[in-house]
Amino acid sequence: MSNDRRGEIVWTPDDDAAAGSRLTAFAAMASDRTGRTFDDYESLLDWTIERPGEFWGAFADWAEVRWHDIPATALGSATMPGAAWFPGGTLNYAEHAVRRAGAAPAMVSLSQTRDRAEWSWDELRDAVARCRAGLVRLGVQRGDRVAAFLPNIGETVVAFLATASLGAVWSSCAPEFGVRAVIDRWSQLEPTVLLAVTGYRYGAKDVDRRDELGEIVAALPSLQHLVHLPYLYHEVPAAPGLDVETTPWSDLCALDGPLEFVPVAFDHPLYVLFSSGTTGLPKPIVHGHGGITVEHMKVLALHHDLDRGDRFMWFTTTGWMMWNYLVSGLLVGATIVLFDGDPAAPDLSTLWRIAADEHLDVFGVSAPFLMACRKAGLEPGTAFDLSRLAQVGSTGAPLPADGFRWVRDHVGTAIQTCSVSGGTDVCTAFVGAAPTLPVRAGEITARMLGCDVRAVDPDGVDCPAGVTGELVISTPLPSMPVGLWGDPTGERYRDTYFEMFSGRWHHGDWITFHDDGACEITGRSDATLNRGGVRLGTSDFYRVIEAMPDVADSVVVHLEDASGGPGTLILFVACSPGASLDDDLRRRITVALRTELSPRHVPDVIDQVRAIPRTLSGKKLEVPIKRLLAGQPVERVASRGSLSDPTALDDVVAWAAAHRTNGAAT
């Protein structure tokens, strides 16, 4: 990718703001500590990658990590897998989350099911202590698993922090998850306590989950207690024939208790996150107390520039890692703002109205949401007072250049677009923005501190600037998983992340770096589109196709030809209301791809589906659709319960059946 194709600069840091940022303050401390000169971001980044133990040790001191047992060193072994972070050190994530006190707001909970609620720091501490005492009465101990079938509301944060304070292990599924998706996750963990709601409101629609909750409880023989949180329905659910004690949330939190924290090792499990479950059982990814504490403090303080009293929101459900990211705003003293409901109800202005009303400093959403706002012609900067907003975060998919331009032109010229990428596997972002660096349209600004992200060729050789390669991480990060649940030998863990490139973490994305360190991620490497020996990124297709008013969404897959032919490039489109895929729209799609990209990008097949299958976190099912079209049965390639619209696969399944030849669709 040549530099003449790069987007223009859409945001430049204010000199005074950059000088007063937490990143600059940390760099000054690090300079004093090391005797090195950090006169720009690149020099600071280089140090954090070359001397990871020195960097993370300095950061832990700067962030005032609360150790119960002081670690011998920051990095005992840098070998991957098996890096030993802060050996001998003990701490507790929850202690950092509630270490502040006072009447200032710690958390705001917004919902379409009930009224706004706010917790001060003192109220949050009291609520966590009470919930902790209740869990102790239920017999929860260090290492036990506590599961939550709860929405993104304040009580969920309270229950998570209470669980963490005990050294117990947390796992959450959003209430919109299908029964099979939930059971596939939690049957691997064998939780003893389940906290749940029995329904919620999504926009104007009441969603009853009582029957689904009964199925989940019946399928988890390890459960000993069900805690019911009144939300849409207030009665305690009946569980006839189930040997599970049911407790109302009010009873769980009825009694005072001490706000104490069990000291645990740096790598002690904090929570288990799951892959989307698009093939086989969902992958149970174990994250540790220490890794999440220091990594989230780093990314939120130094890259999002969050500090005490700042207000932070990311639109997410409890089934996406961005919920964990959002809750960690408490670690840096920010007020976190939660929202449960339909972000498009009554219209796409809902979240922007919240950003104004709640005086947000950092507001995060998904890239598809920003592009939907652009397509709808929204003008949030004119409609609302967003004068306090400093940063709009974007993740979940590559944000096209037009998305950056829309934020600049229609949200605010002084607002930094912070496009970030990472994932559930590391529960953070490893490329993103910094308060001291300019932002270009269509690009992720830089590697984040301590993140040795590289593009490599199939032989593991670093790619030069402008050449696309596999995304790898060459030195360890503290928030890399401490393991996979149920994998005592670590064999599955090694095979998942380190089999392709020995000693390097393989993430599964295509990435291209520029000379200045900015990068572009162009799709999943396991969803490769290879036409005539030229590798094509799926994000390039979507940028062109989804800019068309008649196209609401799309997905493209490439089926290889076993005989060595060019294979078949298949494009599915979901049309906007009132539009349909006729010959004229097919022609316009073909012309746009041929002229804006290349003749190789022109699909062999363009067909219409009602909706594009996406996970609950908004990711397109590129790889599962490819496997489905290659002849694998639908039950093996995708868990409908983990999809935002379980019926969205139906059209693809029907299309595959109608076009199947020798086991594969053509």
User: What ranges do the domains of the chain cover?
Assistant: 528-665
The torsion defined by the Cα of 92, 95, 97 and 100, in degrees rounded to 10, comes to -160
Decide if pLDDT at 631 tops 90.
no
Residue ranges in 464-559 assigned as alpha helix (H): 491-497, 538-545
Distance CA 666, CA 651 (A): 15
Distance CA 219, CA 241 (A): 13
> Residue range 289-300: average pLDDT?
98
Cβ atoms 26, 305 nearer than 8 A = no
Distance CA 191, CA 184 (A): 13
Copy the structure tokens of residue 662: 């020798």
CATH architecture of 528-665: 2-Layer Sandwich (3.30)
Distance CA 608, CA 553 (A): 10
Q: What are 665's strand-pairing partners?
A: 660
What's residue 541's pLDDT? Answer: 86
Q: What are 446's strand-pairing partners?
A: 432
Cβ atoms 87, 101 nearer than 8 A = no
pLDDT digit string, tens, across residues 114-170: 999 999 999 999 999 999 999 999 999 999 999 999 999 999 999 999 999 999 999
151: left (phi over 0), alpha (psi -120 to 50) or beta: beta
If pLDDT is split at 50, 70 and 90, which confidence band does 598 have?
confident
Distance CA 649, CA 524 (A): 20
Cβ atoms 289, 266 nearer than 8 A = yes
What's residue 235's pLDDT? Answer: 78
pLDDT digit string, tens, across residues 512-569: 999 999 999 987 777 667 666 566 778 778 888 988 999 999 999 988 765 556 778 9
Cβ atoms 144, 192 nearer than 8 A = yes
- What rounded mean pLDDT belongs to the chain? 92
Copy the structure tokens of residue 395: 């993740």
Model-level pTM?
A: 0.88
Give how far Cα 301 sits from Cα of 46, 78, 224, 519, Å.
19, 25, 40, 22
Q: What are 447's strand-pairing partners?
A: 431
Burial environment of residue 459 by CB neighbours within 10 A (0 to 12, 13 to 18, 19 or more): exposed
